[in-house]
Amino acid sequence: MSARPTLIGFTAILMWSLLALFTVASGSVPPFQLAAMTFAIGGLLGAASWLFRKRAIASLRQPPEVWALGIFGLFGYHALYFFALRLAPPAESGLINYLWPLLIVLFSAVLPGERLRAHHVVGAVLGLIGTVVLVASRAQLGFAPEFVPGYAAAFVAAFVWAVYSVLSRRFASVPTDAVVGFCLVTSLLGLAFHLAFEETVWPQSVGQWIAVVALGLGPVGAAFYVWDIGMKRGDIRVLGAASYAAPVLSTLFLVLAGYAQATLSLGLAAVLIAGGGLFAAKDMFIKRRTTSRATPAQSR
């Protein structure tokens, strides 16, 4: 399997690591309104590329099950995650939600031609331990009964994103341009939920508007397109384990921006998460080294 789609998919993880920073910088825009705005930007970003590829719009002609999966993944995940943030403390909800990389690695075993090996599981578990260290160091985990609905929503959100990501491989023939349609429908659903349950609050400064646009261009825009490529043509197990880099990178960006403090536990979490991702990606390095050794012999 080519390493290029895996690396392309990894750029989504880098963009998602900016999600918290840009969200904080966007001010007090309600979550569903923010989803409607950012997914609209992300969808229009993809649609703009059709100006140079006239036939790409035909990618929207997909069977109902493809549309169901796309909307289930994008809107379903974000709706559940926002619901979790309303009903439970965000740090604890975030910890539970970040079970999705581990679930991706484990669920990948059901895909045709995929085989779950011990180092994939060990890498994912190391990443999970690192995430626990990271989040537990920033908040006292208090699982009070009144927070159970929120925690349940966070877990289901993790399950939804893992299922969406893994099942995307079964629709590998569906062009990534179809994600444009998923984003635009998610934006409309976000608008509907916003009008039904929230009061409109617009960004209050140029900096907040820039943060909203940055969200739409990156973490809630281009990230979904490159993730689609990675899930369909890259190493899904490596991407699942490598996704644990997102909470560490996210915290590092918050530290650099002055929204969080650097701690020893952050360094420990970074070592565990990065080490887990590298361990899970062992196949890529072994294959590359084997190929490089075989090439001179073949040229003789």
Q: What are the distances in angstroms from CA 54 to CA 47, 64, 185?
A: 10, 23, 21
Q: Are 21 and 253 in contact (CB under 8 A)?
A: yes
Collapsing DSSP states into helix, strand and coil, what is residue 143? coil
Q: What is the pTM of this model?
A: 0.79
pLDDT digits (tens, 9 = 90+) for 161-178: 989 988 888 888 889 899
- When pLDDT is averaged across residues 270-283 and rounded to a whole number, the result is 73
Average pLDDT over residues 238-266: 78
- In whole angstroms, what separates CA 182 from the centre of its chain? 15
Q: Is the pLDDT confidence value at 139 over 90? A: no
| pLDDT averaged over every residue in the chain | 82
The pair of three-digit structure tokens given for residue 10, joined into one six-digit string: 């990894």
Asked which of 82-86, 99-103, 209-213, 296-300 is least confident by mean pLDDT, the reply is: 296-300
**pLDDT tops 90 at residue 214:** yes
- Token pair for residue 161? 């994103």
Instruction: Encode pLDDT of 65-119 as tens digits.
Output: 999 999 999 999 888 888 887 777 776 777 778 788 878 877 877 777 767 778 7
The structure tokens listed for 98 are 């970040």
pLDDT at res. 99 = 81
Q: Check residues 87 and 190 and name the one with the higher pLDDT.
A: 190
Instruction: For residue 109, give both structure tokens.
Output: 């075993």
Whether 228 has a pLDDT exceeding 60, the answer reads yes
For the chain, the helix, strand and coil percentages under 3-state DSSP, each to the nearest 5? 80, 0, 20
Choose among 96, 215, 108, 232: nearest CA to 157.
96
Which residue has tokens 């420990």?
A: 268
